[in-house]
Amino acid sequence: MKNGFNTLAGIYDLLSRIALLGRIQKSQLDVLAHIGPANRALIVGGGTGVFLPKLLEKLPELKIDWIDSSDKMIANTKRRLTETQCKNIIFHSCDIADFHTDESYDLIISNFFLDCFMHEKLANIIKSLDDKLEVNGIWIVCDFKQCGLISKLYIKMMYLFFRAICGIQATHISDYFKSIEMLGYKEEEKLGYMNGFIQAEKFVKTEPG
């Protein structure tokens, strides 16, 4: 799906401000209040970086690997930042499957990203992110959670749109939050919007076994 979101990059912020009354953006900004000190972050599918200036205000020395397959989304993210803010960020314009590193991280952020995938691909992505996070590291996830008929209809329309315009693979959402918890993560914070249709969660990676 290389560059799938390029088509939408120019209007993505407007869309996500209008859709669901701005809660897509608000959830990502609100959850930042629950992030403590961190040194190295991996941020996947960061889009136009709506939360990045606020994250850098809070943690100005944070070193970031920022991955997004859309070079136009990355260009929009860079536009939000000063030169000084960019100094600790490496932007990787590539598919997450092609990102290889020996680094480990104490913070992972995957907002409205896991919903692009399903089945084996989703499981592989969650596993590879888990492998890169240190014990006691934080994983922030903002995403949709199906809860009732209206949300079901909304999700159906949303996937029709994103599959047609951006070529994403997914046709429905999965319970990303549960998948992460099942890896042994502890849910430390949970913010809900629109009767739980959007959730922002902070997970902590616990010692194995």
Ligand X SMILES: C[S@@+](CC[C@H](N)C(=O)[O-])C[C@H]1O[C@@H](n2cnc3c(N)ncnc32)[C@H](O)[C@@H]1O
Closest CB to ligand X among residues 68, 106: 68
Identify the residue among 42, 67, 89, 129 touching ligand X (CB under 6 A): 67
Question: Is 147 in a helix, a strand, or coil?
Answer: coil
How do 89-92 and 186-193 pair as beta strands? unpaired
Identify the residue among 50, 64, 138, 140 touching ligand X (CB under 6 A): 50
Q: Tell me if 16 contacts ligand X by CB under 6 A.
A: yes
Residue 109 and residue 111: Cα distance in Å, rounded? 6
Q: Tell me if 46 contacts ligand X by CB under 6 A.
A: yes
Contact 94, 73 (CB under 8 A): no
Residue labelled with tokens 């992460």 = 180
Q: For residues 93-122, which are near ligand X according to CB under 6 A?
A: 95-96, 111-113, 116
Contact 201, 141 (CB under 8 A): yes
Closest CB to ligand X among residues 156, 186: 156
Contact footprint for ligand X (CB under 6 A): 1, 5, 16, 24, 45-47, 50, 67-70, 73, 95-96, 111-113, 116
